[in-house]
Structures are given as structure tokens and as C-alpha cells.
Amino acid sequence: MAGWFAFALAAVLAGLYAEAPSFPEMRGGRVAPRLPQPAADPSNLLYQFGVGSVTWFAVAIALPFLVWGVRQIDAEQNRARVIALVVTVFVALVTASATVDFLTTFPGDIGRPPVAAFLPMAMRQHFLPWAAVGGAVAVVEARRRARVAAIERERLRAEAAEQRLVALTGQLQPHFLFNTLQGISTLIHRDPNAADEMLTKLSDLLRDVLRDRDRTRVPLGDEIRYARTYLEIARIRFTERLSFDIDVPDELTRASVPLFILQPLIENALKHGVGAVIRGGHIGIAARREGQRLRIEVDDDGPGFGKTPPTDRVGLGNTRERLRAAFADDYHLSLDARAGGGAVVRIDIPFREESAPASMGLKT
């Protein structure tokens, strides 16, 4: 806005100082500058404001080259060199347009004033239009570079967050695989059929997860499918001691969530909830949309955690870091006591949709 205001002000001032087509009188062999009389007709008035003058024709022709030249200047270069270059180009443009003005105003030798007398006054008249256009080009280019820099900073921030999310997910998967294989090893001699079924389901789960190995976010429908398979694997180990239910409306299956975000929460519920009591227990997974927020809950009916929630558990810590990498500060993770006993973990994240389709029918 400041650049355009300067441009308009310079244009008005240039018009006030512009010469009428007739050259001013000579006094003592020198040009005597004077303000022109009010124009007698519209064409002369427009000329006094620069319309049709050599200066503005030169500006119009040079404008694309000015824009291109400004974009070639490297902001990281030596500032003194940049200033020297700009001043040199500016002086050259003013001198060139003033020279052309001299040649077009006095095409013949008759009545032509000395060049040394004409150019100082003409350059003063040509200074304001070039300054106004140069200032406008500089302001527009500065704003463009600021937008580009802001976009680049955001891209780098998102890229860094994405790489951190990949690293955290990579830390999580070997831990999950180790725990599952350990469960299979305890069954392989005692119940070979159960161990075989458990290994088959693990193979199916790993096939699904490897298919998404290049992604950090997946549709909620896929994430729920992984969670159900993991719970089915756990139910083989816990037998009748474990029950679970999943309540996720079909319209939420395309909601975007970090890959494997539920697995550590389920693992905590199995270890500290179902596995902590002889009778076993129940695990529930639910998701709801509230406005532009997605809320996910994982609960169990185990012994709970007493008065102080154990927020330093590995699963919760990893989940919190992955949510921070994915959503910066726009998330909420809480561990609370469940009504009737047990614990519930709540995740609150922005609601976004993935383009990839997800499985349907997630209420079980």
C-alpha cells in the first residue's frame, strides 16, 4: 500500500513539473525552468500529467525488464554491491529517457539548446516517474519474497514434523512386534493351534502396516482395522479373559489420524487393565466428531491408576510426541479415571479427511 501511495504521489508531482510541448524561454544562454500555465485543452492537461510523454513511454517499456531484474537480485549478496547496482541502473534509465526526450523535443539543430543546459532540468523531471515506478516494483517484489519465505518456512516445518513422526512410528513398530512374538512363543508348545492362528493374524496385520509404510497418516477406518486385528491377536492369548467392542460411525472412517496411534493405548490397556486382574476385563474404542474436532477414546475396566495418572508410561509418551509432531499444539491427550472403575485415554485432534477410502462397518 505504501508503495502505491508513493507511486501516485510521484505521478502527481511529475505532472505538476512536466513541461508543456513548447520549450521554456532561454535567459543568458541557460534554460530558465518555470511552471507551465494551466492547460488550455484536455490533451495538454494530460501531457502535463505525463500521459503521452517520453518518460512514461520509457517506463512502460522498461517495466517488465525492471520486474525481471529485481527478481534476479540475490538478497544474500553484499548489500553495498546491490545498492551500487540499483543506483547505477536508476541513473542510466533517467539519463537515457532524458536524452531521448531531448532528441524528440528538438529533432533539428535549429533552436536546439545546449545539451548541458537541457539535461539537468530534464533529469529532474524524469527522476520522479522512475522513482515512483522503481519504488512500486521494489515494494511488490519485497512482498512476494516475504510470501515465498513464509511458505518455505512452513514447508520446512511440516517436513521436519513429518520426519519426526516417521521416526517415532519406527520406534513403535519393533516394540509392538516384539511383544506379539513373545505372546506367540508362550503358546507355541502349550497350544500350537492358537499360536498358529495368532501368527496368521500377525502376518495379516504386518501386511497391512507395511502397505502403509510410506505414510504417516491413514484413514481412521484403516487404523480401526489394525486395532481390531491386534485385539483379536491379544484375545487368542487372553482367551475368555478379554472382550472388546469398537464403536466408530461409518461417516468417520475417512478421518485422518497418525498411523498406529491406537496401538500403544491398547497395549497399555492390555498390560495395566486386562492383564492386571485375574478375571481379565473389557476394552472399548470409540470415536465421535464434534464440530471440526475428532475425539477418540480407549478405555478399560481394570484396576485403574489410583489418585495420580501414570503419564510417564512409554506408550503415552510416544503417543503424545507423535500427536505433537502431527498437529503441533492443536491436540489434547488425557488419561482419566473411568466411571465405574478403570481408565480412559482421550485424544482430541482436528478433523481432517483422507482421500484414500477406508473399510466400512466398524461397529462390533
Query: What domains can be seen in the chain, in order of their start residue?
Result: 2-152 (no CATH), 188-350 (3.30.565.10)
Average confidence (pLDDT) over 132-160: 77
Query: Of the given ranges (79-88, 91-100, 130-139, 301-310), which has the lowest mean pLDDT?
Result: 301-310
Q: What is the pTM of this model?
A: 0.53
Average confidence (pLDDT) over 210-227: 83
Q: How far apart (Å, rounded) are the C-alpha atoms in residues 284 and 299?
A: 5
pLDDT value, residue 291: 92
Confidence of residue 19 (pLDDT cuts 50, 70, 90): very low
pLDDT mean across residues, the chain: 75
Residue pointed to by grid coordinates 481408565: 343
Average confidence (pLDDT) over 50-57: 64
Question: 60 by DSSP, 3-state: which?
Answer: helix
Cβ atoms of residues 28 and 153 within 8 Å: no
Q: What is the pLDDT of residues 126-136, one digit of tens each?
A: 777 788 788 88
- Closest CA relative to residue 231, chosen from 168, 180, 276, 173: 180
Q: How far apart (Å, rounded) are the C-alpha atoms in residues 191 and 194?
A: 5
pLDDT value, residue 169: 52
Confidence of residue 111 (pLDDT cuts 50, 70, 90): low
Q: Dmax of the chain from CA atoms?
A: 120
Cβ atoms of residues 45 and 78 within 8 Å: no
Average confidence (pLDDT) over 239-245: 89
How many Å is the Cα radius of gyration of the chain?
38
Retrieve residue 167's grid coordinates: 521416526
- Closest CA relative to residue 23, chosen from 98, 105, 97: 105
* Residues contacting 122, CB < 8 A, separation 6+: 98, 101, 102
Q: Are strands 26-27 and 30-31 parallel, antiparallel or unpaired?
A: antiparallel
Cβ atoms of residues 47 and 15 within 8 Å: no
